[in-house]
Amino acid sequence: MGIELSVLSGILGVIIGSFLNVVIYRVPQGKSIIFPGSHCPACGHNLRPWELVPVLSFLILRGRCAQCREKISWRYPLIEGLNGSLYFYAAWMNHSGSFLELGIHFYFISVLLVLAVIDWDTYRLPDVFTLPLLGVGIVAGFLLPQGPSGWESLATALGVGGVFWMITRLYPEGMGLGDIKLIAGLGAFLGFPEALIAVFIASFTGSIGGLIMLSFKKRSFREQIPFGPYLVLGGWSVFFWGQNILSFYNSLF
């Protein structure tokens, strides 16, 4: 799509990113994502409209609550900016001009972002996100002329999900059921062999990430290392650069 639509997509992504922050913060606690409105977690001060502008409010307030001056996490503008950048890129890379396809891609980007951060925080990949991801992936296969066909989506979700499910039966300490559902969802969206490459990238970056965190003592050796964020990294990489990764892989042989 053209530069105007891509920039508009980026702005939409930043606004939706602001909503994703609410989802990431409230869903694991079982709280409503609509009521009450956004407030400072430290002093309870209700945010006024000018304090709710994504990224800009954070910069204007220099990362502090307008009322109590408590620090606001830099994660909020980061998530907004990341979601916006990925929407921009997805629109820029979209050559079909199909808004249905673009909408489904926005969904794929955002649900993975939410899953990555929630898994990082809580070691959980809630079913309310992984199961719809799987469903939408399969439906998208049947609806969209681009990407894997519906049957390929279904077969990849079942095949790749099934294989890793069996692996967890043999090595239960490796992955959880949430990871398997996320892998099945990636299978539905990416098809074969792309989904397998995504899991390979996840394992590779996950081992490096685990070593880095151990060396910085961010997480102790006994502590679990969440796999979800790396699966998301692998999923996005293949989603955006799948063709390049495949041709690089083929050039090796």
Q: Which residues bind Zn ion (CB under 5 A)?
A: 40, 42-43, 45, 65, 67-68, 70
Q: Rounded to the nearest whole angstrom, what is the least distance from the CB of residue 47 to Zn ion in the complex?
A: 9
- Separation between Cα atoms, residue 107 and residue 118, nearest integer Å: 16
Cβ nearer to Zn ion, comparing 64 with 124 = 64
Angle, CA 169 vertex, CA 179 and CA 249 arms, to 5°: 55
Q: Rounded to the nearest whole angstrom, what is the least distance from the CB of residue 248 to Zn ion in the complex?
A: 49
Q: Rounded to the nearest whole angstrom, what is the least distance from the CB of residue 46 to Zn ion in the complex?
A: 10
Cβ nearer to Zn ion, comparing 42 with 246 = 42
Residue 203: CA count within 13 A, CB half-sphere? 9
Query: Residue 172, Cβ neighbours under 10 Å: how many?
Result: 9
Q: Rounded to the nearest whole angstrom, what is the least distance from the CB of residue 107 to Zn ion in the complex?
A: 33
Q: Are 195 and 187 in contact (CB under 8 A)?
A: yes
Cβ nearer to Zn ion, comparing 26 with 39 = 39
Closest to 233 measured CA to CA, from 191, 200, 202? 202
Cβ nearer to Zn ion, comparing 41 with 97 = 41
